[in-house]
Chains A and B, each alone.
Chain A
Amino acid sequence: MKGRTISPGKVKGIALVSKDPIGFYGGIDIKTGIVIEKGHPLEGQNVKDKILVFPCGKGSTVGSYVIYGLQKNGVAPKGIINKETETIVATGVILAGIPCVDKIDIEQIKDGDMVVLNADNAIVEVAH
């Protein structure tokens, strides 16, 4: 699948897919990478080293710092794939240097799929 580059880089990893938007601030623990938002489909799961797939960001604009902090604390996702990346997530991944692509039909990606994310060329490959 071809999308739009938000932040460059090439990574390969296991997809962690959320059908709901993610708010990084208040949604993910900056020290551990665990999803802490009550009732969120990913509650209790860890984003560390995953290819995190979700439709769009939501909630607080402090999310950019949370993404940056996750990276500095070594618990960030390896890459991010969105349907639509908004500024909060974009700012975070650019500062943190996390590869990120959007404009992807994320319904084609299932939880646990091996995903190759080539954000340099905005290409996502999924091995089912």
Chain B
Amino acid sequence: MYLTKKEESILHGEQGEVPERMLRLLVQLGDIYGADKMIPVGSVQVAGVSYKSITDPGTEFLEDLAGKGAKVKVLTFLNPAGMDLENWETLKFPKEFAKNQLRIINAFKNMGIVITATCTPYLAGNLPRFREHIAWSESSAISFSNSVIGARTNREGGPSALAAGILGKTPNYGFHLWENRQPTIKVKIETNLTLDADFGALGYHVGKQVKNKIPYFTGITNADTDQLKALGAAMAASGAVALYHVEGLTPEADLVRKDNLENITVTKKELDEAYEKLNTGKEPDIVILGCPHASLREISAVAERLKGRKLRKPVWVCTSRMMKEAAERMGYSEIIENAGGHIVADTCMVVSPIEEMGYKTTGVNSGKAGNYLPGFCKQNVYFAHLEKLLEAVV
């Protein structure tokens, strides 16, 4: 890989230990994947924020970097933390957990990272443009920025994204190159997608089928950004899909080559099977929405259905601090809280310790959450669309 004189000097330790270690990691990755050079990135998004995910070794790794003066050079946002960073006591997050979580947040703050804690940075003030090079690491946000926005990022691991933030650069390989953004499988949708949960179920099914390929969808006639967010998130969780194209909807779909591709078809039968596979439980103890973090439109849909009603079981709507602020202004928060629910910011069900909080079965409308909750939170899953989920708990 070609390195500039300045990059060479960093590798020789002339700018201190932290930049040297970070560049060494990126150069090693660049060499493996055939990068020709380092390229500047417009923004960074760092995963590996919850204490539950990274535990003591990860925490010590970050504190070590922060202690040695690591600072980011470009706009850098964070993935969700393991708790609401402001209301954790009210929501009964364990004290010991909170103490460790705040150590991690403090380390990031000392590095100059914006304490945003969201998996939807594009809804919270970190919006890349078409063809902008970025280094993001939340799998659903990678999928959204690559596919729906047409920005360019590889699937960065938490540490490699952090390295990109500290250096303001990333190795030029993979999805940064047009050649590698061409679809590798065609997915024909021969069923109507109408409910919110349909997109999660579809993504769950397709991700399992295509693993790390680049799907080109046909037959999705309309989908808003919330539905594309749900589709991409589920494919990134059940497979490793970082980029997909949808005929007529996503910006690169018309530009890519689509000849001679392997085909798969999804009919109502496969979609129904995905619903069945995702459902491992019946009676939810709690319903958690907002995976990925809810948009204002999604929060308003919950508020509309909870207006004047009382919940028997808790309902959480997970979102970013910015969307929560907007929901408060619009009165959505008050409606949801009067019904007995909560808008929870900065965190989500997958990275919070819900199994330690006494919940056994969680109701979700997200294919991504449905994929992760059984393994990581020891939860049974009740997977259904929003209306049905809320009917189960009012």
- Chain A positions within 8 Å of B, measured between CB atoms, are 4-6, 21, 23, 25-27, 30-31, 36-38, 55-66, 68-69, 71-73, 84-88, 90-92, 94-95
A37 to B156, CA, bound (A): 22
Top 8 nearest A-B pairs (CB, nearest first) are A64-B157, A91-B157, A72-B57, A26-B376, A69-B57, A65-B54, A58-B240, A61-B137
Chain B at the A interface: mostly helix, strand, loop or mixed?
helix
Q: When chains A and B are docked, how far (Å) is the Cα of A55 from the Cα of B280?
A: 27
Closest to B376 in A: A26
Q: Known contacts A69-B58, A92-B157: does B47 contact A62 (CB below 8 Å)?
A: yes
Contact: A61 with B212, CB < 8 Å?
no
Residue of A nearest to B374 (CB): A38
Please give, as numbers and ranges, the residues of chain A lying within 8 Å of B25 by CB-CB distance: 91, 94-95
Give complex CA distance A60, B239 in Å.
Answer: 9
Taking a contact as CB atoms under 8 Å apart, the answer to whether B212 and A94 are in contact is no
B146 at the interface (CB under 8 A from A): no
Q: How far, in angstroms, from A64 to B29 measured CA to CA in the complex?
A: 13
In the assembled complex, the CB of B377 is this many whole angstroms from the nearest CB of chain A, namely 9
Q: What chain A residues lie within 8 Å of B138 (beta carbons)?
A: 61
- Give the docked Cα–Cα distance between A80 and B353 (Å): 30
Whether A68 and B155, one on each chain, are in contact in the complex, defined by CB atoms closer than 8 angstroms, is no
Chain A residue nearest to B21 (CB atoms) is A95
Contacts of A5 in B (CB 8 A): 32
How many Å lie between the Cα of A63 and that of B159 in the bound state? 10
Given contacts A56-B240, A61-B155, contact A4 B32 (CB under 8 A): yes
Residues of chain A within 8 A (CB-CB) of B159 are 64-65, 68, 91, 95
Rounded to whole Å, the gap between the CB of B290 and the closest CB of chain A is 17
